[in-house]
Amino acid sequence: MRARELPGAVALGLLASLLAHTAAYGGGHAMGGAYHTALVAGAAGGALGALIAALSLAWASAGRALDGSILAARLRAGLPSWPLLTLAATAWFAFGETLEAHHDGVAIPLVAAALVASAYVVLFFARMALSFLAAIVIAIRVDAFAPRLSTWQRLTLLPAPVPRHLLRADRRYARPPPSVFAGA
């Protein structure tokens, strides 16, 4: 467990616990009783806050990333691990159940399975959202500051190459005549 995973575990854990409570109990009663609205608002605010933090981190570090996959990997480092998210969801679930009035219970294995599955689903969608966010940020940053490429190119005329034998023409008579004519 790393310290940078804790804020994501708290925010996404509440969301996963609400999802697990809905899966386990259905629409029979609301999680948290009278505090249900506050829990839902907290989950929505935590998820939105995590998204805004990831967006600002992505925008700030997009210049140093070559493509969206590198940026997404950097952003995913702040997401909690699956066991940590399951633990946070379990803690939120237990907290929500203490706020409720007494009601009929559900089998503990069903609640455990709902918590594990909801933590997996929330983490899966969080990873997908960060990958999508990284791709969007890279697309915006690259297109906004890319130089304009022209669709045509001016033809530049190069001088015609001169044959090699013409280059040696001025040196043709640079030697003295053969010695055959010297003695005659």
- Note if the pTM is more than 0.75: no
d(CA 63, CA 53): 17
The one-letter code for the residue type at 36 is H
Alpha helices in 62-107 (DSSP H): 68-76, 82-99
CA distance linking residue 13 with residue 156, whole number of Å: 64
Q: What is the pLDDT along the chain (184 residues), one digit of tens a residue?
A: 677 778 888 889 999 999 999 888 887 778 888 888 898 899 899 888 888 888 888 887 766 666 667 777 777 888 889 999 999 999 999 998 888 877 777 788 888 999 999 999 999 999 898 888 888 887 777 655 556 666 667 777 777 777 766 666 555 566 666 676 665 5
What ranges do the domains of the chain cover? 3-144
Q: What is the DSSP letter of 171?
A: G
